Amino acid sequence: MYDRNNIFYKILHGEIPSKKVFENDVALAFYDINPVCKVHVLVICKRECRNLEEFVQGSSAEEVKAYFETLTKVAEDVLGLGRSGYRVLTNTGRDAGQEVEHFHMHILGGESLKGVL
Ligand code: 5GP
């Protein structure tokens, strides 16, 4: 069950501030509070779902496409990482070390990511 008592729900609803990068109907992008590299941005979906599996299962094909289009737009156009390159990833569950149970993807870049997990 999705629990509204998570930090990203609060950011999404303006209860906690964030350094916003981009927002549209499907997603909100903001800087990670504890960056692991020069550019570390989180792209959270606006639907209430805990992880990638719930997001894909509970969304229409158009919603999934719109989310991933937003993800690439933020990485390529907003952050300008297209030329130098970047990594996207999502954590699901305990073994992945997922901290926040609201579906999001990380965009990492701005420097060489060799050695950055
Ligand atoms: P996860 O491990 O769930 O994939 O990643 C959660 C990410 O959220 C972590 O990289 C962590 O630094 C970030 N984070 C946790 N709390 C906050 C917060 O209050 N604000 C922001 N901007 N990022 C947060």
Task: Print pLDDT tens along the chain (117 aa).
Answer: 999 999 999 999 999 999 999 999 999 999 999 999 999 999 999 999 999 999 999 999 999 999 999 999 999 999 999 999 999 999 999 999 999 999 999 999 999 999 887
Q: Which two tokens stand for residue 93?
A: 């569950």
Tell me the three state secondary structure of residue 52: helix
**What local confidence, expressed as pLDDT, does residue 116 receive?**
85
Sign of the torsion angle spanned by Cα atoms 34, 78, 104, 14 = positive
pTM above 0.95, yes or no: yes
Q: Which among 100, 101, 104 is the best mutation to test ligand 1's pocket, defined by most ligand atoms within 8 Å of the CB?
A: 100
86-89 β-sheet, strand order? 20-23, 27-31, 39-45, 104-109, 86-89
**What local confidence, expressed as pLDDT, does residue 102 receive?**
98
95 Cα to the center of ligand 1, angstroms: 16
43 Cα to the center of ligand 1, angstroms: 11
**What local confidence, expressed as pLDDT, does residue 55 receive?**
98
